Amino acid sequence: MRARRGFATLIVLWVVAIAAVVLVSVQRASLGEAVAGREAMARTRAYWAARSGIAAAVAQAEYSALNGDPSGPLGYLQELGLVAEGRLDGSVFQVASENVYGRVLGPRDAHAMINVNTMSRDALMTLPGMTEDVADSILDWVDDDDDTQPLGAEIGYYRAQAYSYEPRNAPLRSVEEMELVAGADPILVRGEDWNLNGLLDPNEDDGDASWPPDNADGRLDAGWSGIITAASVGDSLAASGEARLDLGVASAGDVASRAGIASDQAQALVDYAQKRSDIARMRDLVRYDLRQIADLANGAQLQGSRVVVPQGQARSNVASLTTEELARVLDEVTIASETAGAASIPGKLNINTCPAETFQYLPAIDPALADAIIFERESRPDGFTSVIDLLAIPGLNRARLAGLYDMLTVRSSTFIVTSRGRDIRSGVEVEITATVDRSRVPAVLQEVIVR
């Protein structure tokens, strides 16, 4: 009898032990699931906070574009900074970027960098650490043929790699794509900004403690990615916020009304674009006086940079455009045939927002002119309102400015928004980097990266 009782006691103890183990396991699993659930909720809150930062930037960018940047050529950047921070229920977000002074609120201006797809070989060779073979290989990567530059690489080289691939033979779509180009060094491309988020992260400012290599000076050296971009695009919206008028199809009345010029002046512009579509370019409106434009529309020929009127053809007597009128014309019109067939138009460099050092990577702008542009910019608290304002620089005439017209602008249409959302209770963070294109409305997110 006692043996039976002892056996029963043993069974009970065994069951209790098993139950305790099961209970502990269930509790641990439940605790793990609860922790995971809290972390998931925290990450979700942080994610949507970061998304809110992107949405706020998009909304402000669209508003400024539709209303013609009412605060001026620099005011819209300040307005983007005003919506760069926010608080939600249990989370916060911040949109920030780095400039020469350190971290600032607001997105990066893609037009403060040079679009790599517009750079010549000479321009590429000005980049720090650039070599002739890499410069040629970049040109081979973006051109639409399989002909190799003297020191470049084309499809045969890439197919011969252990993991074969092919060059795009079209414009680069991102700076990191340059790392696929033969000979391109990621260290040169990224510098200290290893994740290409445009921010100086802790691991990018700790010397040799962690990757990547950096000098721990509290400033972000982003290598080529801080100088060049592939994100900026041409602006299809006029300064007024409306779609640009195409001189190739627009009526003289529409052009006169939009640009605030006389009807005969508008007719000269329209005739030039429509009758001489083979040579008509927007930069010609800067290079030539309106009378010369009218003469070209009526059959005059170009000999070098001279406009030669055939014998017997009367010269035009249309009134010349004032600098203010010319600025309005350039703000409101375009010649679509100039870029016909292009999938996208690379953006220009914004002379209001680019660092002074950026001009050294444009061979067409010598140091003296670069200094003069910066001096003139600093004398204008509200910034340049038109590239025509550069004519105020002594020695810069219309012919030279026309040569720079395809490179420079005073407005930006593309921004790189890095938004960090943080769950207040747990401290969990989510970072989203999005490229916002407001060259048309509604704005388009060209690229979105979640970290």
Judged against a pLDDT cut of 80, whether residue 312 lies above it is answered with no
Q: Which residue has the higher pLDDT, 133 or 238?
A: 133
* 233, part of any domain: no
Same domain flag for 65 and 27: yes
Q: Using the predicted structure, report yes or no on whether residue 22 has a pLDDT greater than 80.
A: no
| Domain identity same for 76 and 34 | yes
* pLDDT tens readout for residues 218-236: 999 999 999 999 999 998 8
Who contacts 267 (Cβ-Cβ below 8 Å, separation ≥6)?
252
The answer to whether residues 135 and 211 belong to one domain is yes
C-alpha–C-alpha distance, residues 116 and 93, integer Å: 31
pLDDT above 70 for 32: no
14-18, 259-263, 264-268, 317-321: least confidently modelled range: 14-18
pLDDT category, 71, cuts 50, 70, 90?
Answer: confident
What pLDDT does residue 1 have?
A: 55
| Same domain, yes or no: 34 and 91 | yes
Range of the domain at 203: 119-227
- Report pLDDT digits (tens) over 395-421: 999 999 999 999 999 999 999 999 999
How many angstroms separate the CA atoms of 272 and 248, rounded?
A: 9
Task: Give the per-residue pLDDT at 100.
Answer: 82
| 119-137 average pLDDT score | 97
Asked if residue 314 has pLDDT above 60, the reply is yes
**Residue 437 is inside which H or E element, if any?**
strand 429-437
Instruction: Tell me which residue of 83, 36, 43 sits closest to 423, measured CA to CA.
Output: 43
Q: Are residues 127 and 215 in the same domain?
A: yes
pLDDT of 6 strictly over 70: no
**What value does the mean pLDDT take over residues 423-430?**
95
pLDDT for position 17: 74
| 89-108 confidence digits (pLDDT tens) | 999 999 999 988 889 999 99
Of 289, 314, 339, the last residue of a domain is 339
Peptide bond into 442 cis (omega under 30): yes
For the CA atoms of 244, 248, 252, 256, what is the dihedral angle to 10 degrees? 30
Helix (H) or strand (E) holding 323: helix 323-332
Does residue 87 share a domain with residue 145? no
pLDDT tens-digit series, residues 259-277 = 999 999 999 999 999 999 9
**Cα(360)–Cα(338) distance, integer angstroms:** 28
Q: Tokens 């195409």 belong to which residue?
A: 246
Which element (helix H / strand E) includes 9?
Answer: helix 2-66
Query: Are residues 219 and 277 both part of a single domain?
Result: no
Q: Is 235 a domain residue?
A: no
What is the SS3 assignment for 296? helix
432 in any annotated domain: yes
Q: Note whether 440 and 356 are same-domain residues.
A: yes
Boundary of a domain, candidates 227, 261, 284: 227
State the residue for tokens 């070098």. 304
- Our measurement of the distance from residue 184's CA atom to the centroid of its chain's CA atoms, rounded to an integer in Å, reads 21
Q: Number of H helices and number of E strands within the chain? A: 13, 15
Structure tokens that stand for 223 in this block: 């290598």
Share of the chain above pLDDT 90, in %: 75
Residues across the chain: 451
Looking at the fold, whether 4 and 93 belong to one and the same domain comes out as yes
Residue 237 lies in a domain: no
Give domain status of residue 351, yes or no.
Answer: yes
If one counts the domains in the chain, the total is 3
Residue 240 lies in a domain: no
Q: Which of 26-40, 53-67, 375-389 has the lowest mean pLDDT?
A: 26-40
75 backbone dihedrals φ, ψ, rounded to 5°: -65, -35
- Tokens describing residue 176: 């990191």
Distance (Å, whole) CA 447 – CA 39: 27
- Global pTM value: 0.89
| Residue 400 in domain | yes
Q: Are residues 205 and 191 in the same domain?
A: yes
* CA–CA–CA angle 5, 7, 11 (5° rounding): 115
Find the mean pLDDT for residues 299-311.
Answer: 84
Answer with the one of 290, 316, 339 that is the final residue of a domain: 339
Provide the token pair at 193.
Answer: 């900004």
Split at pLDDT 50, 70, 90, the class of 164 is very high
